[in-house]
Every structure is written in C-alpha cells, then in structure tokens.
Amino acid sequence: MFDPYFDSVAAFIAMGEHGFFVWSAYGLSALLIVTNMLVAVRRQGRVRAEIARQARRDGARTSPKAGTSSNSVESNQ
C-alpha cells in the first residue's frame, strides 16, 4: 500500500493522459484557497494598524486614560 502508485515522475505528471485535467484542477484550487487565506490575514493586519494609528492620535490629544470611554459591554446583544 505504501509504494507509490506511479512508476516514474513522468508517469505521475502525465496522470494516464489526464494530466491536464488533474493538474489544472489542483492549480486552480490552490490559487483560490491560498489567495483567500492571504486576503484574510492581510485584512487583519490592516485593521490592527488602523486601530493602533487611531489610538496614537487619541493618546497624543488626551492624557492616557485608556478604558474610560469603554462601551465594551460584556453582553452579546
């Protein structure tokens, strides 16, 4: 069971004449999935940077009394 099914790398790439279909299927899937993950991670970085920038601006204006303007309600409504 744990011997590779294909005799050679060439046979693996050829996929019994179906190489085009198999590899374009996997290529397109990888493209869509990887792009989606990267977009999610980059958006997170952007939002964090934005909040940090805002916090610095606020900190410069008022003395650091962070947490007083809190509207962080611990309810889920």
Partner 1 sequence: MWKTIKRWYHQLGSPRYFYRFCEAVLPWLVPVSLALLAVGLIWGLVYAPVERYQGDSYRIIYIHVPASSGALMGYIAMGVAGLVALVWRMKMAEVMLKALAPFGAALAAVSLLTGALWGKPTWGTYWQWDARMTSMLILLFLYLGIMALQNAIRDPRQAARAAALLAVVGVINVVIVKYSVEWLNTLHQGATLKVVGESSIDASMKWPLLISMAGLWLLYAANVLIRARTEVLSRERRSGWVRRLVRDEEA
Residue ranges binding partner 1 (CB under 8 A): 1-6, 12, 15-19, 21-22, 24-26, 28-29, 32-33, 35-37, 39-41, 43-44, 47-48, 50-52, 54-56, 58-59, 66-72, 74-77
CB of 67 to partner 1, least distance (A): 4
CB of 43 to partner 1, least distance (A): 6
22 token code pair = 């198999």
Element (H, E) at 37: helix 19-61
Q: Which is nearer to partner 1, 5 or 63 (CB)?
A: 5
Separation between Cα atoms, residue 28 and residue 19, nearest integer Å: 14
Q: Which is nearer to partner 1, 3 or 60 (CB)?
A: 3
Separation between Cα atoms, residue 17 and residue 10, nearest integer Å: 11
Residue type at 51? I
